[in-house]
Amino acid sequence: MQRRRFLFWVSLGMFQVGEALRINALDRLAAATLGSGQVAADPETDSDDEPEAEEEEDEGEPGSPDPKRRARHGRPPSRWLRSLKADELRIWLKTIDPPEAGVSGMTYWTHLTRDHSFDADKLTGLTVAEQAQLHAAAHDGY
């Protein structure tokens, strides 16, 4: 098994555990595992890193997207998700079923790269249908 493929499966497990347990640090760790280079602090992408409130919040359904990220309408999606390459995104997209989210006035590609902070090189090779599903996942809070 190739090293990148192995790291993808390890990071997928970390990401899913982090989503289920609402541990946002696992998103950063999963992204770092793949060498995303996005571990440095960035005010726009670190908005999910704020300390948890002492009172118990609605945690949503186990295994569903983090309610904090869902409330941001997908801007930006998790670091781990943005660190995946097209072949890894295809594998991950088969594991989710987000509600549809369309775009108007631009392509999914443009919207994903401009508004959701995805790297264009990592999206190369995705079909329009896969881009649409990735966009829906971003808006669903993944």
Domain ranges of the chain: 3-44+66-139
Number of separate helices (H) and strands (E) present in the chain: 8, 0
Q: How far is CA 59 from CA 52, 53, 81, in A?
A: 12, 12, 21
Q: Can you give the pLDDT at residue 57?
A: 46
Which residues of the chain fall below pLDDT 70?
1, 36-76
pLDDT at 100: 87
Going by C-beta distance under 8 Å and a sequence separation of 6 or more, which residues neighbour residue 135?
101, 103, 108, 111, 112, 116
